[in-house]
Each structure stands twice: as C-alpha cells, then as structure tokens.
C-alpha cells in the first residue's frame, strides 16, 4: 500500500509540473525573441523632446531594434500593436519592412543601407497615437510586433520621461 501511495504522489507531482510548464505560452520581456527573430532595445518616450512629459491622448515615440538572426530567411515586420494607445503610426520610405538575413531594422535611429556606397539612409519612425492612462514613466507596457515568419512577439516596453536627458556635470561651488 505504501509503494502505491508513493507512486501516486510522484505521478501527481509530475503531472502538475507538466501542467505548469504549459501555462507559459506567450513570450513577454523587455527583450523578446523567437528562434530567428528578436526585438531589443525597446523604449517609449514623449514625442515632444522639450516637454519631457507624457500626456494622455498625445503621441509618443516607440524605439526598438528588430533583428533577423536567420542566415537564409528574409523576415518582414508587418505591423505593431498595443493596448496602451489608440493606434500605431509607422513612417518610413517603404511600407514593407524586410529584414534581410543576419541584419536588423531600428526605429528611432537611421537605418543604414550598407549594400551600395552612397545609398540613402532611410529613417523608420514609430509613434503611439493617443496614449491611454496606463502609460506613465517608470512603468512598462506590452507592445506586440507582428512578423511573417516569427509571428507575434510581445515585449514589455519601458516608458521613459525624457528621450534625451542631459546631466549637469558642472562642479558645485
């Protein structure tokens, strides 16, 4: 009887472990990745550099780097969504955001085209339109990046007060 009880306890614990492991279906982190695609260096900051204030219903910039780690497959970023804003606006030279193998695209900084000398740099700008009251400095909000091959990747994106903070390093007297 004692042996039967021990086997029942071990099998019950094993079943619980399998059930708990299956609960983690989506990936949410400050840096999230699928097998070949990752999203890193994410942040949200006020769209107006001089104000350093995030306002409800105002726009904010989303910065990120999307990386294609595959050596053979081209990845494409199709859209970005979040419940933290009423909409997402993407501005770039092209509407299709192809990420060649072993390269990346980035919002909030120039995208360099290194394939041809003298090729123009295209900037990618992503704005969150109509911020909701859940967005304030010191927190993070989930943002989902939708890719052709990787599918949706959800990242907890940090919310910053100012996009550029200049420290006062002058000596105190």
Q: Is the distance from CB of 32 to CB of 57 less than 8 angstroms? A: no
For residue 170, being part of any structural domain is answered with no
pLDDT digits (tens, 9 = 90+) for 81-132: 999 999 999 988 765 588 999 999 999 865 555 555 554 455 788 999 998 8
Number of separate domains in the chain: 1
| Beta-strand runs (E) in the chain | 28-29, 32-33, 37-46, 60-68, 75-82, 85-91, 97-99, 103-107, 110-111, 122-123, 125-131, 140-147, 151-159
**pTM over 0.85, yes/no:** no
- Cα–Cα distances in angstroms (integers) from residue 34 to residues 45, 127, 155, in the given order: 26, 24, 12
For residue 141, being part of any structural domain is answered with yes
Q: What is the CATH number of the domain that holds 103?
A: 2.60.40.1890
Q: Whole domain around residue 143: which residue ranges?
A: 27-159
For residue 172, being part of any structural domain is answered with no
Residue linked to tokens 């979040």 = 82
pLDDT digits (tens, 9 = 90+) for 37-70: 999 999 998 887 666 667 777 789 999 999 999 9
For residue 92, being part of any structural domain is answered with yes
């Amino acid at each position: 009887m004692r042996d039967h009880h021990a086997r029942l306890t071990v099998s019950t614990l094993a079943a619980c472990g399998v059930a708990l492991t299956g609960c983690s279906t989506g990936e949410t982190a400050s840096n999230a990745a699928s097998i070949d695609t990752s999203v890193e260096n994410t942040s949200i900051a006020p769209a107006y550099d001089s104000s350093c204030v995030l306002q409800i219903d105002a726009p904010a910039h989303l910065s990120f780097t999307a990386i294609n780690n595959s050596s053979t497959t081209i990845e494409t970023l199709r859209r970005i969504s979040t419940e933290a804003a009423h909409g997402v606006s993407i501005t770039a030279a092209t509407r299709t955001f192809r990420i060649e193998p072993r390269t990346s695209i980035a919002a909030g900084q120039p995208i360099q085209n290194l394939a041809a000398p003298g090729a123009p740099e295209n900037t990618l700008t992503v704005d969150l339109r109509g911020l909701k009251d859940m967005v304030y400095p010191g927190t993070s909000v989930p943002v989902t990046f939708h890719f052709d091959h990787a599918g949706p990747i959800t990242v907890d994106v940090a919310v910053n007060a100012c996009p550029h903070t200049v420290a006062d390093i002058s000596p105190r007297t």
